[in-house]
Amino acid sequence: METFVEAGDGYRLWVETAGEDDLPPLLLVMGAGASGLGWPDALVARLARHHRVIRYDHRDTGRSTRAFHERPYAVRDLAGDAVAVLDALSVDRAHVAGMSMGGYLVQLLLLDHPRRLLSAALWGTSVLGGARPDPEIRDEDLPGPDPRLLAMWEQMGQERDREAELEWRVEHWRLLNGDVLPFDAQEFGDLERRVAAHSGTWRQSSAHALADQSGMERGEELARVTVPTLVVDAPEDPITPPPHAARLARAIPSARLVTVPGLGHALGSAAVPPLADAILAHTRSVDADGRTS
């Protein structure tokens, strides 16, 4: 089912649900600049066997309102949008999963809206700034993004014709995928064509990169989180490589760290089964404990 949700300040968000309405809800929170279609249909279908799965387009992506330059916002406002989606769908509490920037937003939800979360799962992200020092994993020792990606990001937003833009995006996905799991260029090319058709444009928005990042230095507060949390270690992630996930898991007392071998920062078909299995094992254990009541 597709619908639109009012998120405030004139923003409307495209939302899609899958799975039976009486199943435990699972909200998927995507990364920066990414449409909800970034969640592969195959992953949504696997999760929807056990959950009412909710995916949506962030502001300035997909079919949601694009108005950043007229009505700018902060990254933290995107966490509020996730709550607005739950409110609009009359969902009191939900399992929530986020990757990349979505992982930062899930951390904000853990801090500001813990009563709305049955559980949390996050990967491809890092701990919020200001976290308590860790004697085993020092922040200064956390590696940055792969230099090959940094070089590609310098070209982001350059004027290219459609075929050149598609080629650039597929190559970007190739790097994000990592070097272990197989990479299918056709699969990611088809994804980009679907996203462009869904969005009605090939133009990449810079809104999330330009959004105010203040109010994100809240890592120290993660020490009080009690919501059952799964941190997925993606060993081939070229943006937040190990030990970023371990550092995040150590900052959240309720967190459990699970490695998905070969996982990078892309959700290709080879990544879907093990990632879905990890998420479902986590949500099932929470539901079995009776925490849905």
As annotated, the active-site residues are 100, 237, 265
**Pair of tokens at residue 163:** 């075929």
**Pair of tokens at residue 155:** 């070209």
> Which residue in the block uniquely carries the two structure tokens 């990611």?
188
Side chain identity at residue 197, one-letter code: A
**Pair of tokens at residue 129:** 């700034």
3-state secondary structure of 286: helix
Task: Report the half-sphere exposure of 4 (CA within 13 A, side-chain side).
Answer: 10
Distance CA 150, CA 10 (A): 34
Distance CA 15, CA 228 (A): 25
3-state secondary structure of 25: strand
Distance CA 242, CA 245 (A): 6
The residues that bridge with 21 in the sheet, in sequence order, are: none
Task: Report the half-sphere exposure of 57 (CA within 13 A, side-chain side).
Answer: 24
How many other β-carbons are positioned within 10 Å of the β-carbon of residue 8?
11
Find the DSSP H helices in the chain: 41-48, 75-88, 101-112, 147-153, 162-177, 185-199, 207-210, 244-251, 272-288
